[in-house]
Amino acid sequence: MDNIDFNSTKLTQALVKCKSVTPVDGGALEIVEKHLSSIGFKCTPLLFTDPNSYDVKNLFASIGSSGRHLAFAGHTDVVPAGNEESWRFPPFSATIEGDKLYGRGTEDMKSNIACFMSATNKFIDKYSKDFGGIISFIITGDEEGQAINGTPKIMEWTKEQNISIDHCIVGEPTSDKSIGDKIKIGRRGSINFFLTVKGIQGHTANGHRAENPVHHLSKLLTNILAEPLDNGNEYFLPTSIQVPTFDVGNSAHNVIPELARATINIRFNDEHTAESLIDWLRKKIDEVFSKEKNASCHFTEEISARSFINKEGELTDIITKSISDSTGRNEKPELATDGGTSDARFIKNYCETTELGIRNQTLHQIDEFVYIKDLEELEKIYLKILENYFIKN
């Protein structure tokens, strides 16, 4: 077959050249499928549709029929490049300059998929297809977008097929100063509240006949921001509250508006749930509004992710040992839970899930890049993980 090259740099380049901005695939999944098929993987393309979202191409690929099952999960979609003129090189050209490979998706997360594929190729080469276990790839084309037709549906599909997975590594960029110095064992949750305060419109000179919703909303927000929700814990940073929008939309300086709106985004740790935060907000609103006759506050919420934690276990032990075997470093990787959400939030309901990938430096930025030597190092660590997971010494 043509164009089959498992070199991690070349494979990253091939994937980056596919302009796979969510939900467009751009040929990226086909590259993954072609490579994995060539070494004996059974590949099942999964096209999911839903009335509430765009159609998405996904891929499930596996090799082996019995024994322990280790899955690698990732996404081939990328965020938009932004202003392409601002890039040093065209964002989908996958240009190498010196020791760096530039392009949208190099870090988040095509390089990680490439490295896991190269490592798997070496592993199968060395131990044959009969290594005594199952390796699978769970690859979605929709992680950066709505994620409705992506990983959640692939996981439901595996359940319907009676495929049971023991452990999963999600290849998001987690490393900090060197490859493998940081892995993620959980994530904060995220919830948005959309608040609307209704008062009574009137002339600013007749304040007594009106009720200004801006005053009530600012009081509510001040109360909400007055005290931290918690101080964090062993695994999590403190919960953070941000007010990204406050809108009145009033163009007249002599009119008291009827409505004022604000959004609150909360990134919460495992000391809260979406439900407990909804109760907390209700209480805060009650404190300000329960005695008000002329002003009221309503809100809707959108739960974008629930917080979760996978306490240290077999997978984190194997990953820790493999990083040390491969790099010669002895210090344990940091077990972190910071950053945005990832598809690990869907997979953790099915098996022990940990995230390990390339250095987190330039994702979503103009001039996103990876160091070529980092790719080599990540591939080595992934290969060690496969050996320590499947091959008994």
Q: Residues interacting with Zn ion, by CB under 5 A? A: 108-109, 172
Distance CA 155, CA 125 (A): 28
Rg (CA), the chain: 24
Tell which residue, 303, 315, 304, has the closest CA to residue 353: 315
Strands (E), the chain: 42-50, 53-63, 69-75, 96-97, 100-102, 134-140, 167-170, 182-184, 186-187, 189-198, 202-203, 240-247, 255-256, 259-268, 296-305, 308-309, 334-336, 352-355, 369-371
Residue 10 and residue 110 in contact, taking contact as beta carbons nearer than 8 Å: no
Q: What angle do CA 387, 389, 390 make, to 5 degrees?
A: 70
DSSP structural state of residue 51: T
DSSP structural state of residue 328: -
In the block, residue with structure tokens 């319907």: 160
Rounded to a whole number of angstroms, the minimum distance from the CB of residue 144 to Zn ion is 7
Q: Catalytic site residue 99? A: no
Active-site choice (142, 143, 270, 379) = 143
- What is the DSSP track for 92-134? TS--EETTEEESTTIIIIIHHHHHHHHHHHHHHHHH-S-SSSE
Rounded to a whole number of angstroms, the minimum distance from the CB of residue 376 to Zn ion is 21
Q: Catalytic site residue 230? A: no
Residue 25 or 108: the one with the smaller Cβ distance to Zn ion is 108
Residue closest to Zn ion (Cβ): 108
Backbone angles phi, psi at 169, to 5 degrees: -110, 125
Alpha helices in 229-337 (DSSP H): 274-289, 314-327
Rounded to a whole number of angstroms, the minimum distance from the CB of residue 22 to Zn ion is 11
Residue 109 or 217: the one with the smaller Cβ distance to Zn ion is 109
Rounded to a whole number of angstroms, the minimum distance from the CB of residue 306 to Zn ion is 18
- Alpha-carbon distance values, 206 to 56, 90, 97, 229, 260 (Å): 56, 59, 67, 39, 19
Residue 144 or 387: the one with the smaller Cβ distance to Zn ion is 144
Active site residues: 77, 143
